[in-house]
Structure 1
């Protein structure tokens, strides 16, 4: 299969590695880089040993699994520190905020205004205009309580 191209097999693996590395930059997900590393190593092994196509694909598959596993394990043991751990957790960012009821909370459910948005809220019954504090969030709903 690799012999239909006018390049030697190791160059095809290295080009694939470059394509996967570029794809990782364009479509960040921190997954393709490990597959690209496996392709690069497969190219180097092919260059040094001259192994045939079936063995190249076996080496690539094995290295891909090993690289993805090693990368995921390393990041699990060494998490990236962030200055804003709640960046992608909108509801958690709202805990402690003061909100205003815009649709009466009746039967435990209503709507509250948070800045320029309106959220579904659960909590003790409260009429329109009541100011409450967000004490938690679950399933995209704010849990509110009376102000102290």
Structure 2
């Protein structure tokens, strides 16, 4: 009786050790084997009369199942990238296609537009203050615009 009660604790300790190894050397692999060990501990708790051989087989099967869940379900979800990721730190490129109002007339190809709570330098054909412009490109910190 004592051996079967203590067996599930052994599996949980193994699970914690494997997960601790994952923390030290990250890569997701040991985490999922640790989850298999924790699930084995739960099954041993629910079915205390299992032999050591049955426990070992359950651990192997559950470790493979948990690794397969990671490989086929979790990993692809982690690798999906949002289309906007390519422009994440390039704010100017995120403004392409948007429309803004000029707060300073474009004279000799240069002016300013209100963008959110700030203002950006714009370059384009001469236009008066209050004109609506559309951003077509970004050159450094200057927005290339056309009349909207």
The two structures have a TM-score, normalised by structure 1, of 0.49
TM-score (norm. length: structure 2): 0.49
Indicate the structure with greater helix content: 2
